[in-house]
Homo-oligomer: A and B are copies of this chain.
Amino acid sequence: MKNKIFDDPEFQKLLTQIIEEQIPFCRLLGMKVHSLEPDSPALTLTMKPELLGNFAQGMLHGGVIASVLDSVAGVAILLKLAQQQPKEDVFSQLREFGLMSTIDLRIDYLKPGKGQSFTANAEVTRLGKRVANVLMTLRNEQNELVATGAAAFMLHERN
């Protein structure tokens, strides 16, 4: 029996490559795929000096946090689409990633972004025909909630 696309090792391998190597800004920040589970995928980020917003205090720049939460939201939507609206093949499915775009993003900064590594999770709260909504969280390696986010994305459209 054929794997479902979102469980297909080839799909997961290619999606990991896209995020970690082919999206230039995700690569610049060093985002890594931690889980591609459709209900709560996770990206991780390792602290490095270039990501600091404040050298003295050793805190991530708020823009880094926004970047990883925006990215994990997109991944969550792609996986939900693969689960609920599977395409005929892996490449058609991955193509959806390039056809979605963030409508808007809200980040709540709860704690200073201090830590050695950070995990971003996302949950799709609505997958509509044209628009999807997502809630996100960022935790550090001590499992402290550093930030939460909410985003709306447009689906299936060339900008």
Which A residues form the contact surface with B (CB < 8 A)? 22-29, 49-57, 59-64, 66-68, 70-71, 98, 101-112, 125-126, 129-131, 133, 135, 145, 148, 150, 152, 154, 157, 159
Contacts and interface: CB of A to CB of B under 8 A. Distances in A.
A95 to B, nearest CB: 11
Contacts of A52: 23-25
Number of copies: 4
Is the contact region of chain A dominated by helix, strand, or loop, or is it mixed?
A: mixed
Given A51-B25, A61-B67, A66-B67, A56 B107 contact: no
A98 B28 contact: no
A13 to B, nearest CB: 19
Contacts of A59: 159
Given A23-B53, A62-B67, A107 B110 contact: no
Nearest to A31: B63
A54 B135 CA distance: 22
Contacts of A112: 101, 159
In the A-B complex, list the 3 residue pairs whose CB atoms are closest, starting with the nearest.
Answer: A63-B67, A25-B61, A66-B66
Contact of A109 (B101, B107, B157): B101
Contact of A125 (B67, B129, B145): B145
A105 B157 contact: no
B63 A51 contact: no
A103 B103 contact: yes
